[in-house]
Structure 1
Amino acid sequence: MRACAVSLLVLLAGPALAEDRWMSIPHPPAMPQAVASGLAPVNGIEMYYATYGAGDPVLLIHGGLGNADIWANQVADLMKDHLVIVADSRGHGRSTRTEAPFGYDLMAEDYLALLDYLKIDKVDLVGWSDGGIIGLDIAMTHPERLDHLFAQAANITTDGVDPAVATNEVFGSYIGWMSEDYARLSPTPDQFDAFVTQISGMWASQPNWTDAQVAAITVPTAIVAGDHDEAILRAHTEKMAALIPGATLVILPDASHFAMLQAPEDYTAAVRAFIDG
């Protein structure tokens, strides 16, 4: 059954919220104690990674400008019965970058090389924004590496991005926060502007997949969005879900692009319902 006929709506029980939670971005708690962490030499960079817990492996990939620590709420839950892997994408957080142009294909190769380094053959992949796009790239090119793909706030062409995001205050607050995190975490703490300029070249033209490429995905996939996403147009999200055979459409209520932080329990429950259900 196609995604347009299968919609998983995650509903909140109880009284209405006192305030609009999608209008702010709560910071996550500190990350739990890692089982292992370090810098993996992949594709000419040093890629920060950490692992938590034990069990079936789950790879969490953060969004653009972010870092692995954004997943603290989800890691604390999923590590109870999963091996959870997080990393900082190239140029993000504690990972280095090169002069090579950013591309989702290159970033997907980084994560596959990291899994090889960790000797992990196959994972459930939870990707947010750029992380979801990286997950879609892997689903197209290396489906044998994925059991499930939970892709939140992703797009498949640049026209899926809402132009209004450029002036959105909530999104702007995220950029300011990530600038501070970059200065605190990065091995090149004074190069945030140069990093943004470099990755913006990718965002200007990627992703740019055809409908046929997306429709060829065979990995069990959930296409996920907050119902107040500032960056990705709802019609685009629905199109993605309709294109991928058998995909599940998940709409998280009272949450935005930053749903994993605004509604962490609902978000993790949706992840578990898909990868464990």
Structure 2
Amino acid sequence: MFGYEPEFVGCGDARIAYFDVGRGKPLILLHGNGEDSSYFKAQIPEFSRFYRVIAVDSRGHGQSERGSQGLSFALMAQDLKAVLDTLGIEKAFILGFSDGGNLAIKFALTYPQYVDKLILNGANVEMFRGIKPRIQLPLYPVYGLLSVLGKRSGKAAHKRDVLGLMVHPYGVKMEDLARITAPTLLIVGEHDLIREKQTREIAARIPDSRVEVFRDGDHFVAARQPARFNRTVIEFLMGR
């Protein structure tokens, strides 16, 4: 897949796939909703020049199995901990995009001892207030339809569970962010689907954080402005 072969860790009744590339301090990559690690195909070759890149397919995504427990950020945070424990990684840089950013937040709050620095690209905390209405509102009737179809179709049930990650709150409130002590970089596009007010509030709540806005960028700046995205991330991780 995109030039790299996956490895697997057993997490309960599901195998979680990850791609382990390069050497150095571990840098974990977490993709967005309905995607997989190939989203970072423009990042992995560059980042692996400096770091040991571990790109994880979230449960029910890519080559990772869904298991029987449904999908939730809490469960995916447990999966990520299991991957790091299996690899003997005690501390790492964490970069999450979109839902992967939400997972990074959940992980940093649940297992803070594992997080050195945190990069949140297009993450949100309060979905209804955080995502622009033209993006968020159409999700609910689709989710409702999939919930009905999912009673008879395993494929529809899987799509329901994946979409549910964008519909249901994931157990994090704005006031929780004060507990994140890791230095944090928030990256968003000027025309991101995340409301600017949400991004600014997240940054204001995390004690050691800053925001980088990509001019003329949208939600997918890593894929569409990879040179700038990669440079911004590496400079932040190197403390420049």
TM-score (norm 1): 0.76
* Structure 1 residues not aligned, in runs of 5+: 1-29, 169-189
Distance 1:201 1:83 in 2: 32
2:58 matched to 1:78?
Answer: no
State the identity as a percent: 29
Report if the CA contact (8 A) 1:31-1:76 is conserved.
no
2:83 matched to 1:114?
Answer: yes
What is aligned with 1:226? 189
2:26 matched to 1:57?
Answer: yes
Residues 1:67 and 1:56: Cα distance change in structure 2 (over 3 Å): same
TM-score (norm 2): 0.87
Residues 1:202 and 1:31: Cα distance change in structure 2 (over 3 Å): closer
What is aligned with 1:239? 201
Residues 206-221 of structure 1 aligned to structure 2 (within 5 Å) = 206-221=169-184
Report if the CA contact (8 A) 1:155-1:207 is conserved.
no
**Secondary structure class of the residue paired with 1:205:** coil
Residues 1-277 of structure 1 aligned to structure 2 (within 5 Å) = 31-33=2-4, 37-159=6-128, 160-165=130-135, 193-230=156-193, 232-277=194-239
* Post-superposition offset of 1:60: 0.5
What is aligned with 1:182? none
* Structure 2 residues not aligned, in runs of 5+: 139-152
**Secondary structure class of the residue paired with 1:203:** coil
Report if the CA contact (8 A) 1:32-1:76 is conserved.
no
Distance 1:81 1:212 in 2: 34
Distance 2:171 2:200 in 1: 17
> Could you list the runs of 4 or more consecutive aligned residues of structure 1 that deviate by over 3 angstroms after TM superposition?
30-34, 190-193
Distance 2:116 2:16 in 1: 23
**Secondary structure class of the residue paired with 1:195:** helix
Q: How many equivalent pairs are there?
A: 224
Alpha-carbon deviations, 1:193-229, whole Å to 9, x = none? 3322112333222234223211221111112211111
* Post-superposition offset of 1:151: 0.6
Higher mean displacement: 259-268 or 43-52: 43-52
Report if the CA contact (8 A) 2:182-2:208 is conserved.
no
Distance 2:127 2:114 in 1: 26
* Post-superposition offset of 1:145: 0.2
* Post-superposition offset of 1:157: 1.1
Distance 1:70 1:211 in 2: 28
